[in-house]
Structure 1
Amino acid sequence: MPGLYLGALILSALGVIAIDLRHRLAVAADPGRSLLLIACGTAFLLVWDLVGIATGVFVRGDSPLLVGIDLAPHLPLEEPVFLAFLCHLTLVVHALVTRRRTRARSRDAA
């Protein structure tokens, strides 16, 4: 079923966005800085992928779940979507852990 992986990525990203907005963790708390971090992280990981592809470390496997559009040889359309999702998820988890640690420290100090 072509597009299933991309659909799952988008659905998962919407879930992370909902959590972010509801709890004001990353993009909701500081949109400029968060979007810059997501863009830089995605760009870095894309360059990493391209180096891996050029050296033959990464190759695109065949899967009926992919849309079938390649942005470059061995770089499917889903890859940058996944990398952006991964970067945003990392920011949200980091913000959540930081917030919980801060609350625990303030509780212990009181």
Structure 2
Amino acid sequence: MSFINFAYLAALAVAITGMVMLDRRFTLFLWRDARRAAIVLAAGVVFFLVWDLGGILLGIFFRGQNEFMTGLLIGPELPIEEVFFLVLLCYNTMNAYAAAGDWLDGRWSRSRRGHSVEARADG
């Protein structure tokens, strides 16, 4: 195996790292309530893994292999990259959901203007 065989897995890891950094910066999902977030994230990944396994058993889903994938399987027709993709998918969804909730609640506009608004209110 060469580095190119890990390109997709590495890209997924970089994207997940970006999601973690956004989450940390804006306190969206995992940093808001780690225990609850871990349960929700795990439930989402398990749900989609069961979905994938059902599709594989029914002959609907097949593994697409190319030179950018490791070739490591965690089940028949189920590459290791799929788990990382599902983590990214679920984490991205929850970050987007939390960010949308914050935006609709007006938390982002207050936090962006927070210091100047507070300063004017005090002075």
Please tell me whether residue 96 in structure 1 is matched to residue 99 in structure 2.
Answer: yes
SS at match of 2:104: helix
Q: Segments of 4+ in structure 1 off by > 4 A?
A: none
Q: Aligned Cα RMSD in Å?
A: 1.5
Relative to its length, the structure with more helix (as a share) is 2
Matched residues in 1 for 2:17 and 2:6: separation?
A: 16
Please tell me whether residue 35 in structure 1 is matched to residue 18 in structure 2.
Answer: no
Give the Å deviation of 1:3: 0.7
Matched residues in 2 for 1:94 and 1:44: separation?
A: 18
Matched residues in 2 for 1:62 and 1:86: separation?
A: 20
Matched residues in 1 for 2:26 and 2:6: separation?
A: 30
**Residue 76 of structure 1 aligns with which residue?**
79
Percent of aligned positions that are identical: 35
Amino acid at match of 2:62: V
Matched residues in 2 for 1:61 and 1:19: separation?
A: 30
Determine which of 4, 8, 14 is the counterpart of 1:5: 8
TM-score scaled by length of structure 1: 0.92
